[in-house]
Amino acid sequence: MSSSLSDRDQQVIWHPYTQHKNMLPPIPITKGEGTLLFDENNNSYIDAISSWWVNVHGHAHPYIAQKIYEQAKKLEHVIFTGFTHEPAVSLAERLLKILPGNFSRIFYSDNGSTAVEVAIKMAIQFWSQQADAGDQKSANDNHHVKYRHRILAFRNSYHGDTFGAMSVSERGVFTLPFHDHLFEVIFIDTPTKANFGHIKSVIDLYANEIACFIYEPLLQAAGGMLMHEAEMLDELLTEIKSKNIICIADEVMTGFYRTGKFFASEYLQNKADIICLSKGLTGGTMALGVTAASQKIFDAFLSDDRTKTFFHGHSFTANPIACASALASLDLIEKEDCVLRINNMVKKNKEFIAGFAIHHSPSNIKNHRQLGTIIAFEIISGNDSYLNNISATITKQAMQNGIYIRPLGNTVYIMPPYCITDEQLNKLYDFLMAIG
Ligand SMILES: *Cc1c(COP(=O)(O)O)cnc(C)c1O
């Protein structure tokens, strides 16, 4: 008898974020449709976390699939230096119209971490080229020109798993073995009325040395679905912008309506100079990253001196099939019923979280919160840590109920695709309500 897919997997696969010793056998998924994932025995599970926050319109969406098929038959890929193609240009044009802020150029890569790497490299090189231009004499005198080189980031942040992205992320369990190899970053807390003065003094201290500030607007997702006030972030951005620091909004997760608006930056008056997108960009079907830059950033790289080129690119830069799937996803988002469904989910989430407070206080639940399409709370059990074992227990209970969720330690959350039906959403609420 041939062995099962799960057995074969366990012979050859190394899974992400998975401790393989004593791991539960992975569940083969054979099919996806709408919010549902189907296993080999045709059990279905509501994908309540949008498959790690990427899915937007549901699984195996026929319209996106069709567009991918059409593009694959026409042009599957081409080198993106010296050449261009319709899906890349059309997607850039459409993104520039909807992005929150004055962006004028789209740089493509293939995931969230690389979108962040690109942003950081743009910001650092921007200042290095300013130093060359403005300070030619001292550039000749000193081999090492002092230019803005420091980076500012939030505590509890998560910007990806490559080295630059890890460097600007919280030093924690994900990054522990690499601390000696990560570059130095100035970390500040997310702003509140109470800590604002202190944060300001830190920024003042280094103001002229800080090249850029990278932030996840309103929601630190991997950090534990931590939410902060738009108003306070806006005050902080005003402060930071007054120091001429380049602002990088990492909207890899918050983009495409997760927070109830197209982009979380729409809750803010202050807009970024660089913005990073991925995850929901293709509706969750293909790997694609975008780093959008303002004219000011782009202009700093224009030069007769070829060393000022942005020497960065990936083999699959602007992959046409990925761009086509992003265009298809945008088509679906721009249909009226999509935003209506999002608004409906946001409204229902608000009602649920209000009722949840009454049902669960006092209890073993704390910090229940909601932002747009996302609901989160902590279970009071052991410590507040990603390694809390309660996560596996909750996932198992959920699966038995036909729901897939994957708590971040003791932080339980849902973030469903927007095609979720009221009935499915109520099923998620009932499950959450029964916890505790
Ligand atoms: C997921 C995530 C990333 C990394 O994206 P990958 O595609 O997983 O590399 C970066 N920033 C934020 C805010 C994220 O949530």
Between CA 29 and CA 26 the distance in angstroms is 9
Mean of per-residue pLDDT scores for the chain: 95
Q: Is the CB of 160 under 6 A from ligand 1?
A: yes
Whether the pLDDT of residue 135 is over 60: the answer is no
By most ligand atoms within 8 Å of CB, the mutation choice from 54, 159, 174 for ligand 1 is: 159
Domain shared by 429 and 295, yes or no: no
- Non-local CB neighbours of 50 within 8 Å, separated by 6+ positions: 56, 280, 284, 415, 416, 417
pLDDT given at position 134: 56
User: Do 340 and 325 share a domain, yes or no?
Assistant: no
Which residues are marked as active site?
17, 158, 250, 279
pLDDT at 90: 98
* Ligand 1 binding pocket includes 221 (Cβ within 6 Å): yes
Atom index in ligand 1 nearest the CA of residue 116 equals 10
252 lines ligand 1 (CB under 6 A): yes
β-bridge partners, 30: none
Residue 100 dihedral angles phi and psi, to the nearest 5°: -80, 100
Q: Residue 133: what pLDDT?
A: 65
Cα of 53 to ligand 1 centre, how many Å? 9
Average pLDDT over residues 207-233: 97
CA separation for the pair 282, 270 (Å, rounded)? 26
Q: What is the distance in A from the centroid of ligand 1 to the CA of 286?
A: 14
Lowest model confidence (mean pLDDT) among 9-23, 244-258, 372-386: 372-386
Q: What are phi and psi of 291, to 5 degrees?
A: -120, 115
Ligand 1 contacts CB of residue 218 (under 6 A): no
Q: Is the distance from the beta carbon of residue 170 to the nearest atom of ligand 1 less than 6 Å?
A: no
The pLDDT confidence band at residue 137, using thresholds 50, 70 and 90, is very low
Domain end point (choices 266, 299, 333): 333
Which of 158, 286, 288 for a ligand 1 pocket mutation test, highest count of atoms within 8 Å of Cβ?
A: 158
Do residue 81 and residue 177 come from a single domain? yes
Residues with Cβ within 8 Å of residue 408, at least 6 apart in sequence: 222, 224, 225, 386, 391
Name the packing angle between helices 336-359 and 320-334 (round to 10°).
Answer: 70
Q: Look at ligand 1, atom 7, and give the residue with the nearest C-alpha.
A: 112
Residue 247 sits in the same domain as residue 109: yes
Same domain, 343 and 316: no
Which ligand 1 atom sits closest to the C-alpha of 160? Answer: 4
Residue with CA nearest ligand 1 atom 11: 159
Domain shared by 286 and 268, yes or no:
yes
- pLDDT over 70, % of the chain: 96
Number of continuous H segments (helices) and E segments (strands) in the chain: 14, 16
pLDDT at 140: 47
Q: State yes or no: cis peptide before 362, omega within 30 of 0.
A: yes
- Do 199 and 293 lie in a common domain? yes
What confidence tens digit (pLDDT) does each residue in 348-388 have? Answer: 999 999 998 788 766 889 999 999 999 999 999 877 777 77
**Per-residue pLDDT for 399 more than 60?**
yes
pLDDT of 180 reads 97
Report the alpha-carbon distance of residue 171 to residue 223 in Å, rounded: 11
Q: Is 111's C-beta closer than 6 angstroms to any atom of ligand 1?
A: yes
Q: What is the pLDDT of residue 259?
A: 98
84 and 170 part of one domain:
yes
Q: How far is it, in rounded angstroms, from Cα 344 to Cα 418?
A: 10
C-beta contacts of 33-41 below 8 A and 24+ residues apart: 33/58, 33/59, 33/60, 34/58, 34/59, 34/417, 34/419, 34/420, 35/59, 35/416, 35/417, 35/419, 35/420, 35/421, 35/424, 37/404, 40/5
Last residue of a domain, one of 281, 315, 333: 333
- Asked if residue 38 and residue 86 are part of one domain, the reply reads no
Query: Quick one: 360 and 282 in the same domain?
Result: no
pLDDT of residue 388: 78
pTM of the model: 0.96
Residue 40 lies in domain: 5-60+335-434
Which residues are bridge partners to 320 per DSSP?
Answer: none
**Ligand 1 atom nearest to 220, measured from its CA:** 13
Domain boundary among 282, 303, 333: 333
Query: Domain check: are 300 and 426 in the same one?
Result: no
* 312 and 408 assigned to the same domain: no
In this structure, which residue's CA is closest to atom 6 in ligand 1? 112
Cα of 134 from ligand 1 centre, angstroms: 35
* Nearest atom within ligand 1 for CA of residue 114: 9
CATH number at residue 416: 3.90.1150.10
| Number of Cβ atoms within 10 Å of the Cβ of 419 | 19
**How many structural domains compose the chain?**
2
Count of Cβ atoms closer than 10 Å to residue 156 Cβ? 18
Using CA positions, which residue lies closest to atom 5 of ligand 1?
112
CATH number at residue 142: 3.40.640.10
Say how many Å lie between the first and final Cα of the chain, rounded. Answer: 44
Q: Which residue among 17, 169, 279, 413 has the greatest number of ligand 1 atoms within 8 angstroms of its CB, and so is best to mutate?
A: 279
pLDDT attached to residue 143? 47
Q: Across the strands, what pairs with 173?
A: none
From 162, 190, 215, 253, mutation site for ligand 1 pocket: most ligand atoms within 8 A of C-beta: 253
Quick check: 125 and 310 in contact, CB under 8 A? yes
